[in-house]
Structures are given as structure tokens and as C-alpha cells.
Amino acid sequence: MEFDSPYGNKYADLLSNVSNFNIIESTLREGEQFANAFFTTESKIKIAKMLDEFGVEYLELTSPAASEQSRQDIKAITSLGLNAKILTHTRCHMDDAKIAIDTGVDGIDCYWSSSYLNFLSRKGIEVRFSSEDSFRSDLVDLLNLYKTVDKLGVNRVGIADTVGCANPRQVYELIRTLRGVVSCDIECHFHNDTGCAIANAYTALEAGATHIDTSILGIGERNGITPLGGFVAKMYVADKRYVSSKYKLEMLREIDNVIANEVEIGVPFNNYITGFCAFTHKAGIHAKAILNNPSTYEIIRPEDFGMTRYVSIGHRLTGWNAVKDRVEQLDLVMTDEEIKAVTQKIKTLADIKPLGIEEVDTLLRDYHREIYGRNQ
């Protein structure tokens, strides 16, 4: 397909699914394996509804065989009538599959057994076949196995970087090869131990994968998997129109905050889109450029995510253009020379300690009053 790149050129890539993918949101399965996670039925329902409204295509839930409460929770969520399809994991036991089907799920993830696969396909349920630790498995064995299950009629095969060791080049090569071997969909699950989870997800789509696993804030086993917000940020940059039409982007902040509260962590300062400084500009030269044309230093429009840009001015790196912008916001009228002089004042004070926005505003108003008197 042909699509826009952030650099303005158009190019065609026949394998790429960058503008045609599904999110399998696994906060209620992988996320439950996060050290701090303990979701009550009530909070699972809240999270499921929120993700459904955001627009994810699938929700993956903890196996009903894990505990009695887990089974009841799946039933509660499948009865909500959400648009998102509900998936769960099972071990390769017929009993597990029967329990799962009774909860009303739309799809099941399973491991190897042809009689088991036959049983599931007779039930008209979506079936994913996956292996663990795909990047450390023997490639020939893996491809043969997936070719066989593809012929048996599974809907998807799954590739999992269970230990988080893969890099984007390895991902591209494996998925591209697999794409040539199976005709079914390809789902990918990337752990983030070495910081490649978002890049790997993106590259997998470029190589022909169709489904990506995410969790809110990336929570999961160890340091987790591809985070929903970071993945969406990456895909938005690749194809803004497609991503904005599919997902309610302005919900991301609420989604990240709800999970941060649930699992008692903060949203990281450097988090994609929702981190507190994701749209803060500080250096004088950046601030000047941003005020003229935001796209110079912003690849993501904060407005599209219901966020606001902030230009920080009360520090020693500030510049007079940023101060001028604030002066205009405060409805004060000053010449450029006066603004340059007051900027110098701010820099001198900020060399001792940074100033809050209220302090800067007071300083600007006082300075204005000194020159023009009270009534101007």
C-alpha cells in the first residue's frame, strides 16, 4: 500500500500493514502479571469498558482456568456486549478449552495439539496458535510447525519475544519469512527488557504482521510489553488519518491515569504523550521555533490527544521570544527592547533558582507598571 511518511514522501510497500492492523489489548492478562497488579471484578469491568470505548479491536483476559474468580470475571466481561472481541489463553487441555468456551469468549489462544485445534474450529471460535520464546527457537522447526497449523485452519499464529531479547532487524527478518509461509494472520507479543518493544511492534507490521499485543503503560511480567500509548504514538506518526479515525486518542490520558492509580505507580515523566513534560518546550531557540510553527519540534500534535503545549519560560535558558508570547497572553503592551530587558532580569533571577509561572507573571506585571504606571 502507499502511505504518507512523516517526511513528506510517499512510498509503496507491499508487505507493510502499518496502515492496517489490530490491537490486542492485554492489560487484563499480561498486565495482571505486573508485580503491583490486583484487579477486582469492578476494576476489570471499568478497564474493559474504557479500552472498548478507546477502540481497541481485542481484549485479552487471564485464563478462566487460573482461578474461579478469573472465570467469573471473564463471564462478567463477555456479558457487557462490548465491540471489542474477547480472547483468552488456555493450556492444551480439552477441559480448559471447554471452560473457556462456556465463558462466552470470541477467541482462544492455544498451544500445540491437532485434535484440540479441530475441536475448537468446530465450535466456531477464533483460534490463535502461538509458541513461547520464538526468537530463541529453531527457525526451521518453527516455520514447519506454523505451516502445519495454518493448514489446519487456525485464524492466527503468534510470535512472542518472551524474554525481550529481539531487535527490529531480527523481527523484520523473522516476520517477513513467516509471512511467506503462512496465509493466516500474524500476531506479535514483544517484551521490553531491552527497550525495543515499540520499535519491534512497528517493524513487525512493516514485515506483514497483522495484530500487536499491548498493555496500558506497558505493564506486565518483569518490566512489561509494548505500551498502548507509545505504540499509538508511533502509529499516529506513520499514518495519522488511519490512527485518528480508529481510536479515540483524547482518552489516552484518562486510560494511563486510571491504570497508574490501579497499580499504585506514577505515569513516568518521559511517558509517550501523557508524561508531564511530553509537550513542554524549554530551550529559548526551541520555544521561539515552536511559537512560530509547532511542527518544527513536535511530531505529535498535542491537541489531537486532548493535551496542551507548554512553553516554559522561568529559567536561565529562556529567550525573549518566549517571554514576548507570555507578555501578549497577559495583555501587556511593551516594546521588543523592553521585553529583551525584562528577559535579562528573568535570566539573572533564574540563575539563582528557577521561577514558577506565577513569579514570572508578577515580575512582568511589575516591570510593566514601573514603565507605564498603573493605568496602562
Nearer to Zn ion, 30 or 52 (CB): 30
Residues in the chain: 376
Nearer to Zn ion, 48 or 159 (CB): 159
- Region binding Zn ion by CB under 5 A among candidate stretches 23-31, 48-56, 106-114, 295-303: 23-31
- Region binding Zn ion by CB under 5 A among candidate stretches 24-32, 65-73, 237-245, 328-336: 24-32
C-alpha cell at 140: 526451521
Minimum CB–partner distance for residue 30 and Zn ion (Å): 5
Site residues for Zn ion, 61-90, by CB under 5 A, read none
Number of residues binding to Zn ion, judged by CB under 5 A: 1
Give the catalytic positions in this structure.
Answer: 286
Nearer to Zn ion, 30 or 150 (CB): 30
Q: Residue 30 gets which letter from DSSP? A: G
**Up-side HSE of residue 140: CA atoms within 13 Å toward CB?**
0
Nearer to Zn ion, 219 or 350 (CB): 219
Minimum CB–partner distance for residue 225 and Zn ion (Å): 6
Residue nearest to Zn ion (CB): 30
The whole-angstrom separation of Cα 115 and Cα 211 is 25
Rounded to 5 degrees, φ, ψ at 71 are -65, -45
- Region binding Zn ion by CB under 5 A among candidate stretches 28-36, 40-48, 114-122, 240-248: 28-36
Minimum CB–partner distance for residue 329 and Zn ion (Å): 47
- Region binding Zn ion by CB under 5 A among candidate stretches 25-33, 38-46, 75-83, 99-107: 25-33
The whole-angstrom separation of Cα 186 and Cα 172 is 13
Minimum CB–partner distance for residue 34 and Zn ion (Å): 11
The whole-angstrom separation of Cα 116 and Cα 90 is 11
Give residue for cell 511518511: 5
Minimum CB–partner distance for residue 161 and Zn ion (Å): 9
Minimum CB–partner distance for residue 307 and Zn ion (Å): 29
128, containing H or E segment = strand 126-130
Site residues for Zn ion, 29-58, by CB under 5 A, read 30
For residue 313, how far is the Cα from the chain centroid? 30
Nearer to Zn ion, 193 or 254 (CB): 193
* Beta bridge mates, 200: none
Long-range contacts, stretch 63-66, CB < 8 angstroms, 24+ apart: 63/29, 63/88, 63/89, 63/90, 63/91, 63/96, 63/100, 64/88, 64/96, 64/99, 64/100, 64/103, 65/90, 65/91, 65/93, 65/95, 65/96, 65/99, 65/100
Nearer to Zn ion, 18 or 225 (CB): 225
Binding site for Zn ion (CB under 5 A): 30
